[in-house]
Amino acid sequence: MKVIQLKTRSDFKGKDKGYEGTYSFHDESGALYLRCDIYGACLKAPTRYVSDSDGAQNFVMRAKGKFMNATYYLEDSAGERFATLTRKGMGFRWKVLDNNKQEVARIVDTAAKGEAFLSALFAALPDSYAVISNQELLATISDESLSEANRKKPGNALGRVLDRVFGQSGLTARIEPEAGDKVDTRILVAGITLLRVHDILGVNRQG
């Protein structure tokens, strides 16, 4: 799998209190890879990722801490932890830790400083993120749903911010050809989820 694309849907009918939407993740052919329901900014309940074919749980993301200093544990279908995603404050940087609490990768924004400031101010997402490990680029994550007009204007930071706030977000991760098996797609899926929930929706909700 070289591409993972997020699609979001909000259908509150028959859903429990706190439900915020269903996220589905698709591969480069458009086939469904995983899906999950989002509750309370992923803080108030575990986020369970399932395959649509049989509904079997693939992995689960569990929150520890509050929205500002967020930590999420990723566990496989057997309940074994395989990674941790953590972020301090409102900065656009997530660290990926192994089970020895050692950093193995980062998800960082690639926006200019001025645009990053506007993004934080308006609770929106920078144009793109990079997933890096030991100075090696493993994947990029970008919002490919921005309007064509704003995408063609590199200096129009405010326009892009407003586009993200009021438009439909469609984050897409593209794995670098040289990355090979170095990328765990489950971590990418969890990272995309957190970028959407924390940095696009961006409301400072406490669990």
145 pLDDT tier (thresholds 50, 70, 90): low
163 pLDDT tier (thresholds 50, 70, 90): low
As a whole-number percent, the residues of the chain with pLDDT over 70 amount to 66
Question: Exposure of 55 by Cβ count < 10 A (0-12 exposed, 13-18 middle, 19+ buried)?
Answer: exposed
Predicted local confidence at residue 93, as pLDDT: 83
pLDDT of 49 higher than 50: yes
| Residues 6 or more apart in contact with residue 137 via CB below 8 angstroms | 130, 131, 176, 179
pLDDT digits (tens, 9 = 90+) for 172-202: 899 998 887 888 999 999 999 988 887 655 5
Residues 136, 142, 144: CA angle, nearest 5 degrees: 150
Q: Which amino acid is at 11?
A: D
pTM tops 0.85, yes or no:
no
Mean pLDDT of the chain: 77
Contact by Cβ (8 Å): 131, 141: yes
Residue 56 region by backbone torsions, left for phi larger than 0, else alpha for psi between -120 and 50, else beta:
beta
Predicted local confidence at residue 98, as pLDDT: 95
Predicted local confidence at residue 65, as pLDDT: 67
